[in-house]
Structures are given as structure tokens and as C-alpha cells.
């Protein structure tokens, strides 16, 4: 009998592939690739590790630690990409400019990219970087799924109210194509829902029913 969540089998064999400072250092642009983006300290690496049941991405209490495009191999046709954190005030301006330049080059040229997970701290959503990513995904017609991370930092009712408010803002500004959910790495909240999106993008199962809580 096949596993209920086919992404888990792939994640068990996930391995680091390569780090790239520039687009021309990335792996061959073929197969399917899902990227993880987020403002520095939004919980991006923790979310990636939780979703894959592995320690793929390095986590740190020092925001801005991820300075490269880090590629992880799932199989010959599928990869995950941990994108550089962005927006941390203590990072030198030239380094910020380097990240932005090469992040934009990656997003604008990568044919194998099939979807982007955008991590937002539920307490500080829709930052300038988040809005930039939403604008880009709309212009590029790229599927984007938002994880409202650190949702365990709020009471359940407050977290649900924040989700509804952010869903309204997303619909008003960017339409119905962006999906949103609550997520907590420590509490493993929202893991199954996010894994279903990941599996769908990687061609492992049918897309989730649009009637689910994602708010798509």
C-alpha cells in the first residue's frame, strides 16, 4: 500500500547538493524545484527542516545566516532550495545588495522552479520583502504558499484572527492565487497541510481541494 504522504519517502533520502552564490553556479535547470523564501528570522530554515523531517537547513539565532542559494536533492528530478534570508538590519549594505541581485536573478530565470513557500512571522506579516515576493509571484504567475510561522506564539483565537485578516489582505492585494496557512515548527502545527502543497508541486499527488483552510 503506498504511503499516505509520498513526500516523506523522498525526504528520508534528501541530501545536500550544492551551495550557489550566483545563478550560474546552480544545478542544471531541469526537473522540478521548490524554493523556500522569507525575511531573516521568519523561521524559514526551521520550517524547511520540519517539513522534510530532516536537518537540511542550518538554523541559527543569528538572523541572516543563510547567505547562499542552498540546493537539496530529493531524487534525480526534484530539489528543494533554501533561499538567502533578506532584510536583516545588521547585515552590511553591500551584502544585502548582493543577496537581492542574485535572488532576483534566480527567481527571474529558473525554468525548473514550480512554486515558492514564503515564510512570514505571524506577528510581523506583510513586510516590504513579503510584498515584493507577492508582487513577483503574481507577475510571474508562480504558485506561492504562505506559512504564517511562529503561530504558537499567539493564543489559538488570536492566531486564527490573524490568519483571517492576512487572508483578506492577500485577496484584496493579490487575488485568489496565493494560499495561506498557520504554521509552527516546534508544535508541528500545519505540517500535513504544507506537505500536501509541496507534494502537489513536485508532482507526487493531485492538488489539494481549494476548499481547505489554506485560503487559496
Q: Give the residue ranges of DSSP H helices in the chain.
A: 6-12, 44-52, 93-109, 128-140, 156-174, 191-201
What is the per-residue pLDDT for 215? 45
Q: 143 and 116 in contact (C-beta within 8 Å)?
A: yes
- If pLDDT is split at 50, 70 and 90, which confidence band does 7 have? confident
Backbone angles phi, psi at 194, to 5 degrees: -70, -40
For residue range 122-143, what is the model confidence (pLDDT) as tens digits? 999 999 889 989 999 999 999 9
For residue range 187-214, what is the model confidence (pLDDT) as tens digits? 999 999 999 999 999 998 654 443 344 4
For residue range 75-132, what is the model confidence (pLDDT) as tens digits? 999 999 998 877 654 555 665 666 677 788 899 999 999 999 999 999 999 998 899 8
Distance, CA of 148 to CA of 117 (rounded, Å) = 10
User: Among 40, 19, 173, which residue's Cα sits nearest to residue 96?
Assistant: 40
What pTM value is reported for the model?
0.86
Distance, CA of 173 to CA of 95 (rounded, Å) = 30
Distance, CA of 164 to CA of 215 (rounded, Å) = 9
Count CA atoms closer than 13 A to 209's CA, side-chain side.
3
- Is the model more confident about 85 or about 5? 85
Averaged confidence pLDDT in the chain: 84
Amino acid at each position: 500500500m503506498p504511503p499516505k504522504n509520498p513526500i516523506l519517502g523522498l525526504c528520508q533520502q534528501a541530501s545536500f547538493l550544492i551551495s550557489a552564490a550566483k545563478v550560474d553556479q546552480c544545478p542544471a535547470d531541469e526537473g522540478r524545484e521548490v524554493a523556500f523564501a522569507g525575511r531573516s528570522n521568519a523561521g524559514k530554515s526551521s520550517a524547511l527542516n520540519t517539513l522534510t523531517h530532516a536537518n537540511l537547513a542550518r538554523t541559527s539565532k543569528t538572523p541572516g545566516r543563510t547567505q547562499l542559494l542552498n540546493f537539496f536533492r530529493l531524487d534525480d528530478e526534484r530539489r528543494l532550495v533554501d533561499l538567502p534570508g533578506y532584510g536583516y538590519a545588521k547585515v552590511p549594505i553591500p551584502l544585502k545588495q548582493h543577496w537581492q541581485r542574485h535572488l532576483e536573478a534566480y527567481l527571474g530565470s529558473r525554468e525548473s522552479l514550480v512554486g515558492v513557500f514564503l515564510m512570514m512571522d505571524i506577528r510581523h506579516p506583510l513586510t516590504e520583502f513579503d510584498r515584493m515576493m507577492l508582487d513577483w509571484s503574481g507577475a510571474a504567475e508562480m504558485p506561492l504558499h504562505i506559512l504564517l510561522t511562529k503561530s504558537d506564539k499567539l493564543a489559538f483565537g488570536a492566531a486564527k484572527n490573524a490568519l483571517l485578516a492576512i487572508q483578506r489582505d492577500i485577496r484584496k492585494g493579490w487575488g485568489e492565487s496565493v494560499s495561506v496557512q498557520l504554521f509552527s515548527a516546534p508544535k508541528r502545527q500545519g505540517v500535513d497541510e504544507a506537505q500536501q502543497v509541496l507534494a502537489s508541486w513536485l508532482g507526487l499527488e493531485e492538488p489539494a481541494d481549494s476548499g481547505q483552510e489554506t485560503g487559496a
